[in-house]
Amino acid sequence: SVLRAQISKTYTNFQLSATLGQLRSIQIFVVGQARQPGVFTVSSLSTFVSALFESGGPSVSGSMRNVQLKRDGKVISTIDLYQFIRQGDKSADAQLLPGDVIVIPPAGPRVAVLGAVDTPAIYELKSAQEPMAEVLAYGGGVLSVTTPLKVLVERIDTSKGRAPRAVEERALDTAGLRSTLRDGDVVTHDRVAVIRLA
């Protein structure tokens, strides 16, 4: 009756019949560093992203930046979950077919962002090195209560022998934000010191 009422607004002297077909299910595989690896039965209308969330997504040691959809041994699509979560980018989403395999590889290089940021956490880098501005954006950017001019970067360099750990200050100017971070770096934002007046 709803369809007839809507169609009658445009057409006259018509006949209408509607039938509902049963949606079939398909089986896919989720392998690698997944929270719940295994075989999943999903709707034939499911997509790469929806199946990934239905399966629980990557485990703690799984990659968020390089999740692959494979079909007949070929990579059909690769999704960066950071882009999806931060920006809603579903350009890498794809319709699933029976027998598709979602592969979650181990996480790549990681950087810790600590201190006065919206979301302090350990973030996975897309490549071996990334600009500081990009990594800080993962943590929500610089807060107003953060020391505005600098951050501390703690880095491990095994080539330095007995003292492989070094701490350096980096300015939050154009050059500092373009400087790169790499696997194992720890970035700390200090809060602005509060002076209490008597």
Tell me, what's the pLDDT at 19? 78
- Look at residue 195 in the predicted model and tell me its pLDDT: 47
pLDDT at position 173: 84
Model pTM score: 0.76
CA-closest candidate to residue 185, choices 104, 145, 131, 143: 131
What pLDDT does residue 57 have? 93
Cα(92)–Cα(124) distance, rounded to whole angstroms? 19
Alpha carbon 142 to chain centroid, angstroms: 20
Q: What is the pLDDT along the chain (198 residues), one digit of tens a residue?
A: 888 888 889 888 888 888 777 778 999 999 999 999 999 999 988 999 999 999 999 999 999 999 999 999 999 999 999 999 888 999 999 999 999 999 999 999 999 998 877 888 999 999 999 999 899 888 777 655 555 678 899 998 777 666 678 888 988 888 988 999 999 999 998 765 444 555
pLDDT at 144: 54
Token representation of residue 102 = 């979602």
The stretches of the chain forming alpha helices (DSSP H) are 2-7, 48-54, 81-87, 132-138, 174-178
Tell me the one-letter amino acid at 138: Y
Strand locations in the chain (E): 25-32, 38-43, 67-71, 74-79, 101-104, 110-115, 121-124, 129-131, 150-156, 165-171, 180-182, 186-189
